[in-house]
Structures are given as C-alpha cells and as structure tokens.
Amino acid sequence: MKKGRVYIVGAGPGDPGLITVKGLECLAAADVVVYDRLADERLLSKARPDAELVYCGKSSEGHVLEQDEINVLCVVRAREGKDVVRLKGGDPFVFGRGGEEAEALAEAGIPFEVVPGVTSATAVPAYAGIPVTQRGLSSSVAVITGHEDPSKGESMVDWERLSRGAGTLVILMGVHNIAQIVEQLVRHGRPPQTPIALIRWGTLPRQETLVGTLADIVEKTASAGFGPPAVAVIGEVVRLRERLRWFDNQPLFGKKVLVTRSRKQASALSALLARHGAEPVELPTIEIEKVEYALEKVLPDLSKYQWVIFTSANAPEVFFNILLARNLDTRALGSTRICAIGPATAEAVERHGLKVDLVPREYVSEGILESLGAERISGASFLLPRAEEARDTLPKGLRKLGATVDEIPLYKTVPPRKYPNSALKMLLQGEVDIVTFTSSSTVHNLATLLGNRPDALTESCIACIGPVTEAAARGLGIRVDVVASEHTIQGLVNALVERFTLNKEVSHG
C-alpha cells in the first residue's frame, strides 16, 4: 500500500488571501484536511469535494482534540495511504507547535513537508498600520509567546534581556497575561510611556485595535473587554499607526454585508466587498435551474437569427453548455450578431470565444431597445434565450420596432433547498449592516424567506443593483437606500463605497 504524506501548512493569520500558492496546491490535492480554529474556514472550499475535513480547534476554553490525538490522527491517515494537510493558523513553526507535529511524524516514519505560512507576528501589525521595524525607530524585533505566565519561576522567557534588548516586541497569545507581561517589562526597564497596541482578529474585517501605553493598557483592556485572539506590539513603531492605517479605515470596514446571489455567483460580489473591508455574509436566495427542452426546437436553425440577445450572465453559461451537450459549438450561430445587456454578460459570452457586437449604454432592457433602435431592425429575427420569469419589456419593444422574436426559457431562478442558518440568524438578530439585492428574484425570495419578519430589514442599509431590482423591493414595501448608477456588481460595490465614504466624511466634519 502507498504510504501517505503529511503537509504541515501555514494558513496565514486570518485573511484567506494570505495563504501561499504552495499551501493552496497542497490543500487542493489532499485526501484529508485537519484544520485549526485560527485557519479561516473559507479555505476549506479549496479542498476536494470528497476530502475528509477534521476540525481540531484549540482555545483557552478547551480543545476538540488534544495535541497527542492530532499527532496520532495524522499518522493513522498517512498509514492508510492518504495525503494529509495539517492546516494551521499563521506559520506552523512560529509558536504553532508545528515542530512537535513534525517530530511525531518523523518518529513514526511518515514522510512530511512543511509549507511555511505568513506569520501573525508581522502580518497582523501590518494590517493595523504598524511596521515592526522602521529606520530611526526600531532596527530589531523579538517575537515572544505570551501564553505562559511570565511571573512563574520557571518561565523560559528572559524578560530582563528582552525588555531593553529589542526595539520592537511582538507578543503572541498574550492578552490573558497582559498584566503580568506589562509588570515584567516595566520592572526590567521598559519605560511606562512606551506605546503598545493590541490587535484582535487581525487581518479580518472584524479586526479591532486598542492603543495605549504600558502605563494604561491593562486598565484599557479590562474596560474594553478586549480578549483573545490578539497580538501585542510594543515599541515606538506603534506611533506610526495613525499615519499608516490602510485596512481598518476603509469605507466598508467592519460592515456585515448580506450577499443574496446564488451560491455559484456569490463569491465574485463577496470578494469585491472584502476588498473594501466588508465582512460578506452569504445567504443565497436563488438557485439556477436549467429549462433545456425549449431550446431544442431552435437548435437546428440557430444561424437564421440576425441577433441573439443575452440579458444576464447566467444565460450564455446555460446556452453554450446546452450546445456542447448536443455536440454543437459556437459555429452553429453562423454570422448571428450578439448583444449583451452589460459587461458581466459580455464577459460570460466572450469566455466562449465569441465577440459581442453590442452592449447598451444603460444595462437594462430599455437600454437595449434604445441602442437597437438605431440599427433599423424592422424585419430582423431575434433569439432571446433567457430566464423563464424575465420581464416582457424587451420582446414587446422589439416587436413594436418590427422585429420577429423567439423567446426561449433557458433557466428559472428558484429558492434554494437549504439556507445557511448562521447567515439567516444574523439577519433576524439585526446583526447585518447592509443587504444587497442583485435581481428581482433575490428580493422576492428573501421576502418570502423572512415571512412574518419583514422588520428584519428595517435596520439595514438596502442596496439594489439597478432600477428594476429597486422597483421589486419598493413593490414589497422594502425601503431602498442605495441604487447603483452602473447596473453591475462592481457598480453596486462602488455605490456602497461612495455612500459610506460620504457618511464618514459627514461624521468627521
């Protein structure tokens, strides 16, 4: 039997984008993933669908698996011939007990590799706007564990030398012992007015930073109820934070934003929101269900159409997949011209190797009619492969201009069979700051899901991708606060950024 291999992989400090390329490659190939509490669970979506996922989270409150049990689990799975990724927060060899796990594997004769990760010791201060070294302020840095009690006689940390021996001290896992740590530092010569920053949930949208001095940080920590997981940075470099902040002063920072798109499409919007500091909360309210039979009757004569119009990014995906399933490809369209309602739809078409001939200035059906009006389309033949429940504005308008129109339902949007309970709970408990709607279907389905709790939306900012979606929301009595002027996902995010940038300027004015 093939002997498996164990990859001890650093997942980085929290932001899933900080995992290394090699770490992702190992994760995508693994048979088993054994992951920690501080490894972002969004990374698990990169694992194979059939991979075994084992949570072994450890915290000060308790352990799901003890360290010896984790070691045994990795050895057993490798002996079964499976490749195991041991996914650890930060860097596995920087206070991550990765060395202990490597020793256990070596003793058992299990081949292993270590894939270093971005350590929280440098990344978390960076996300708070604090460089751990800076010319003129600090030319040395020491990384220290704060998990042991520094007041006990057998402490392995030489606080006397460290207090004055390094320009910057970075202490990991030290919030519980902050009073004892401060006492040791001051006792051994660190001035009480030395700046200190505690950074909680670093690199994530819920990041919190508490700044003080050694003289007052213990009191501030108690008053704020500031708990783990946190990194402490001690030294003059902390004074740079106000000038170098870049992450936690973004317009959408810390805002919980509900994403109601289908599960497949949600990631694009979530990624854009996260780029501006938001915390996306995915609650898919629609699923795309193919309606293949209607296209069958026109497949043999696709080239007879002068125009094919795609009015959503879903339509070209379903359309061309059906062609391929019937042993056809884009050549079946002949010289047919293609219109896409907006840039996202055009991009979906172009992924299949076709050039889009027309994208209207306004990304709505009315915009298509206005653009085509100049084309003298009287007598032209149009194919509209689209959603079963689409508005009739476009086909009616085309016929009024003298065109022949075949409407083909390609798919329908239906409510998902299951909803993420955690996201729905957050919405019902009033913990969501912004609700985004990207189609009329997302509006109707979320309203149906809420049932007798329409009040769940009253405290959130409601943002719609365009006027059609806005009309659907207002028709259900939902207040709308933001409507994107460019009716795209990027336009929706831009509108939210503009809204909350103005809010910050007003509040600071």
Q: Are residues 127 and 274 in the same domain?
A: no
Of the residues 100, 117, 134, the one at which a domain ends = 117
Q: Are residues 366 and 461 in the same domain?
A: no
State the catalytic residue, choosing from 31, 82, 83, 173.
173
Look up tokens 């696709």; give the residue: 302
Of the residues 379, 413, 447, the one at which a domain ends = 413
Is 58 an active-site residue? yes
- Provide mean pLDDT across the span 4-31: 95
Q: Are residues 275 and 321 in the same domain?
A: no
Share above pLDDT 70 across residues of the chain, in percent, rounded to a whole number? 95
- Provide mean pLDDT across the span 15-37: 94
* Cis peptide preceding 92, ω within 30 of 0: no
Q: Are residues 435 and 319 in the same domain?
A: no
* Average pLDDT of every residue of the chain: 90
Q: Is residue 250 assigned to a domain?
A: no
Residue 147 has a pLDDT of 72
DSSP 138: B
What is the count of structural domains for the chain? 4
**Higher pLDDT among residues 214 and 155, named by residue:** 214
pLDDT tens digits along 349-399: 999 989 999 999 888 899 999 998 877 788 899 999 988 888 889 999 999
Residue 42 has a pLDDT of 79
Q: Which amino acid is at 254?
A: G
Q: Is residue 251 assigned to a domain?
A: no
Q: Which amino acid is at 319?
A: F
Q: Are residues 72 and 59 in the same domain?
A: yes
Q: Are residues 490 and 429 in the same domain?
A: yes
Q: Are residues 394 and 461 in the same domain?
A: no
**Cα diameter, the chain:** 93
Q: Are residues 229 and 134 in the same domain?
A: yes
237 to 111, 113, 170, 193, 337: CA distances (angstroms): 42, 35, 11, 13, 60
Residue 150 has pLDDT above 70, yes or no: no
Residue 210 has a pLDDT of 97
pLDDT tens digits along 97-107: 999 999 999 99
pTM (2 d.p.): 0.78
Residue 382 has a pLDDT of 94
Read off the CATH number of the domain in which 224 is found: 3.30.950.10
Is 173 an active-site residue? yes
Is 156 an active-site residue? no
Residue 230 has a pLDDT of 92
Reduce the DSSP state of residue 213 to 3 states and report it. strand
Torsion of CA 96, 100, 104, 107, to 10 degrees: 140
State the catalytic residue, choosing from 15, 36, 40, 433.
36
**Alpha-carbon distance 258 to 457, whole Å?**
11
The two three-digit tokens of residue 456, written as one number: 């769940």
Domain that holds residue 201: 122-244
- Provide mean pLDDT across the span 305-325: 90
State the catalytic residue, choosing from 58, 220, 290, 412.
58
Residue 509 has pLDDT above 50, yes or no: no
